[in-house]
Amino acid sequence: ARALVAPLRPRSSRSGGGVPARRLGEAPLVRRLAGGSGGAWAPPPRVALRRHLPTAAAAIGTGARGLRGAADFVAGDGPVGGQGSETHGGDDIYKVARLAADFSVTTNALGPVPSALAAIRQLMEDVEMSWITPRGGDVQAILDEIDGSSSGNHLATAPAVEHYPPRVDAVLEELTASFLAGPGGAADTRPRLLFGNGASELIDLLARMAPEGPFCVNPHVQVQYREYQRACQNAGRAMTEDPKQASLVCLVNPNNPTGFFQEREDMEAWIADNVVPGSWVLVDESMLFWAGPTWYERGVSAEFIRKMSQKHIHIFLVQSWTKIFSCTGLRIGTVVCPTIEKKEHIAAKQVPWSVTVFAREYLKAALQDTDYLERTWKNTPRWRRHMVKRIERLHPDWKIYGEPWLSWIWIDTGSVAVADSVYQAALDCGCPVRHAASGYGLPTFVRLAVRRPYDFSVLYQALLQRSCQQQSLSISFGTYADVQPSVVDGIRLVHIDDLLPHEEVLQDRAGKLQDYVKDLPNKILPAIIVDSQFQVVIDGHHRLELFRQAGMQIVPVVSVNYEHEDILVNPPGPAPGVSKETVISTAMKGKPLPPKSTQHMVRSRGGSLLPIVVLSPQIAELHK
C-alpha cells in the first residue's frame, strides 16, 4: 500500500511498408485465405497490462507462483535441459502463469520492428486456396487419393513456405554490409559476410572449424556469454586461461552479462599483445549496436583485421540480429570473416538454407527502418537510467554494472537469499528476470533487461512489495474508523487509467493541493477510494489528478462495497438529490458531474456519520 511509482509512457507504434512477396501464378477458382488455422504454436499468454495489474498485485501479496517455479525446472526437464545445451533465460517466460513483460532476455525494449513485421506478414498474405473443379476422372482420382474422399478438393499455394529461398540474397547482403561497415565499407565487407540461423549456429560452426587446440574466453570478465564455452566444449576443446596457449580466443564485447566493454584501441591492443600467430579470434559485437549511430567506430576495425591476417591471426566478427531487432523467434546471425577464402571455407561446411525466408525479409526491412534505430538509441539509455535510479533508491547496497547505453542491467544483490527472492517475486508478478545462478553460476546476481517505464512499473511494484515484506513495514492509517468489516473490500494496486471519475475537479484546488504537497517533508496523502465493482472513484478526485500530474500510473486504492447500506451519498442536508445509481452511471458513461456534486459519508458501528476519507490509509514514498 506504499507506492513509489515510475512515470509511464505508452508504447508508440509505427506502421511500415512491407516487402512485396513473389507470386508464382494464379490457380483456377482462387479465393484468398482469411484468418489462420488452429493448432499452431503460440507464446505464453500476454494480457493487456492495465487489466492485469490487480491480478499481479494479488499474486505479489499472496506469494502465488507462476505455472512452474524455478525449483520445478531441473536438468533434462522441458526446454531447459539436455546435454550440451545452454541454460537460457529465454525459458523463464514459460514459468509464469500470465506474462506482463519479459525482463529475462536482453532484446530491444521497443519490441519487434513494425515495418519488418509488415514485410513478413506480406509473405503470408501471398497465400491462396484453390478449389479445383473436376473435369475428368483423372483429376478426381488424384484428389480422392490425396484426401481419401471427393469432398476435400482444395489445394494451397504459399510461395514463401513451399519453395526454397535463393541461396544468395543480394539485397540482404548489401543492406547488412552497409550497416556493419558504415559509409563506404560495404564493398569490402559483403564478400566476407556469412549468414546463419542465429549467431549460435555460426558460433558452433566456428568452434568446430578453428585450428585444433584449447580455447580461451575474455580474462577481463568474471563470466561471459556461455554459448562460446558450450560450442568449444562440444567440439572437444579444453579450456585454458592463458590466451597465448589457445588456438581459439572468444571475446564478447560488450560482454553479456557483466556489461564490461573495451573501446576499439584497448581491444585491438589486447589482441595484438596476447594472441599468437595461427590462432583464430572470435569477437562478438552483437550488443555494440546499442552504442549509437556511430557504433561501428568503436568495434574492431577492418584495417586491424587485415593487419592481423598478415600475421596469421584471423579475427572473425560475430553479430546476432535477434536482440537489437527483438526477433528471437526468427533466428538470424552473421559473421564477418577476415578473408574471402576463410568465408568460403566455412560456408562449404555449413548446412544450406539455414536462414528462413521470413528471417531474411524481417532483417532487410529492419535494417532500413532508421526511425526504429533512432528511437532505440534515444530511449534505451533513458529507460535504463530510469530503472537504475529507482533500483538504487530502493536498494542502495546493490552493485549495478554496465555501460549506460546497454539493453540490460547487471546487479549484484550481495546475497543468495535476496537474489532468490527477487527472482521469485519477478515470476509472481509476470515479469521474469534472469537469475545468474542459472547458467552463469553466480547466485547473488540477477540481470534485468531494459524495458519501458510502463512495463517496469509492474516489476518495480513487486520489488517495493518485497522490500516492505523484508522490512516488516506496516500500513499507516491516518484515522481508524470503527465501521462494519464488510464495508471495505480491500486495498489494491490499480492502473490509473482504470479509475473512472464521477465528478470533475476544480483546477485551482488541484493546483493548491500540488503546492501543499511540495512543501511537505514526507509526501503523504490519503489513498483514493473506489467502488469495488466498477472502479468508480468515490472519494479523491483531486488527489487522483495530483497523482496523474506526478507521473504515477499504478496507485493503491481502498476498494469499498459501494452498495453497502452504511455508505451514503449526499446524506440529509442542504444538497440532496444525487443517488448511488447516478454516481455509477455518470462515471460509466464518461460524463462526470460538476465539481463537488457529491459528499460521501460512512456510518460507524456506533451510528455516527463520518467523511468516507476515514477509510483511506496514508500512502507515502518509501525513499525520497
> Tell me: the pLDDT tens digits for 88-115?
556 788 888 888 899 999 999 999 999 9
**Between these two residues, 568 and 41, which has the higher pLDDT value?**
568
Q: Cell numbers for 248, please give them.
A: 581459439
- Give start and end residues of each alpha helix (H) in 550-596: 580-589
528 DSSP assignment: E
The pLDDT tens digits for 354-408 are 999 999 999 999 999 999 999 999 999 999 999 998 898 888 899 999 999 999 9
pLDDT for 242 equals 95
How far, CA to CA in Å, does 3 sit from each of 203, 237, 397, 467, 621? 46, 52, 21, 12, 6
CB-side exposure of 431: number of CA atoms within 13 Å?
30
Pairing type for strands 399-401 and 333-336 reads unpaired
Rounded distance between C-alpha atoms, residue 44 and residue 55, angstroms: 16
Helix, strand, coil percent values for the chain (each to nearest 5): 40, 15, 45
d(CA 619, CA 464): 13
- The letter for the amino acid at 185 is G
DSSP summary character for residue 601: E
Domain boundaries, the chain: 94-108+370-450+461-467, 170-355, 485-620
Q: What's the pLDDT score for residue 29?
A: 26
User: Judging by DSSP bridges, how do beta strands 554-560 and 528-531 pair with one another?
Assistant: parallel
Helix (H/G/I), strand (E/B), else coil: 15:
coil
The 3-state secondary structure of 452-494 reads CHHHHHHHHHHHHHHHHHHHCCCCCECCCCCCCHHHEEEEEEE
β-strand partners of 492? 557
Residue 552 parent element (H or E): none
Q: Identify which has the larger pLDDT, 183 or 160.
A: 160
24 vs 126: CA distance, rounded Å: 10
User: What value, to the nearest 5°, has the Cα angle with vertex 399 and ends 396 and 401?
Assistant: 130
Q: Mapping DSSP to helix (H, G, I), strand (E, B) and coil, where does residue 276 land?
A: coil
* Neighbouring residues of 63: CB distance < 8 A, sequence distance ≥ 6: 428
Model confidence band, residue 46 (pLDDT cutoffs 50, 70, 90):
very low
Going through 85-229 in order, the beta strands assigned E by DSSP cover 128-131, 154-157, 193-196, 215-217
218-254 pLDDT, tens digit each: 998 989 999 999 999 999 999 999 999 999 999 999 9
Q: Which three cell numbers stand for residue 479?
A: 484515522
Max mean pLDDT range (9-23, 91-105, 579-593): 579-593
pLDDT band at 474 (very low <50, low <70, confident <90, very high): very low
Helices within 395-448 (DSSP H only)? 416-428
CATH class name, domain 94-108+370-450+461-467: alpha beta
Measured from the Cβ of residue 496, the count of other Cβ atoms closer than 10 Å reads: 19
Determine whether 102 is exposed, middle or buried from the number of CB atoms within 10 Å of its CB (0-12, 13-18, 19+): buried
Rounded to the nearest integer, the mean pLDDT of the chain is 80
CA distances from residue 393 to 396, 403, 433, 462, 570 in whole angstroms, order as listed: 6, 19, 19, 15, 44
What stretches of 194-329 show up as alpha helix (H) in DSSP? 198-209, 227-234, 264-274, 302-310
Question: What is the topology classification, in CATH, of domain 170-355?
Answer: Aspartate Aminotransferase; domain 2 (3.40.640)
In the chain, the percentage of residues whose pLDDT exceeds 70 is: 74
Q: Please check whether residue 334 is in contact with residue 202, taking contact to mean a CB–CB distance below 8 angstroms.
A: yes
* More confident site: 424 or 9: 424
The residue written with cell numbers 577492418 in the block is 302
User: How many other CB atoms sit within 10 Å of the CB of residue 198?
Assistant: 20
pLDDT value at position 48?
Answer: 35
The string of pLDDT tens digits covering residues 344-358 is 999 999 998 899 999
Cis peptide before 112 (omega within 30 of 0): no
Q: Domain 485-620: which topology?
A: 3.90.1530
Q: What are the residues whose beta carbons fall under 8 Å from the beta carbon of 256, sequence distance 6 or more?
A: 106, 224, 225, 286, 287, 408
Rounded Cα gap, residues 518 and 523, in angstroms: 8
Residue 523 pLDDT class (50, 70, 90 cuts):
very low
Q: What local confidence, expressed as pLDDT, does residue 492 receive? A: 74
Q: Is 394 exposed, middle or buried (0-12, 13-18, 19+ CB in 10 A)?
A: middle
Q: Which of 373, 340, 364 is nearest to 178 (CA)?
A: 364
Binned at pLDDT 50, 70 and 90, residue 64 comes out as very low
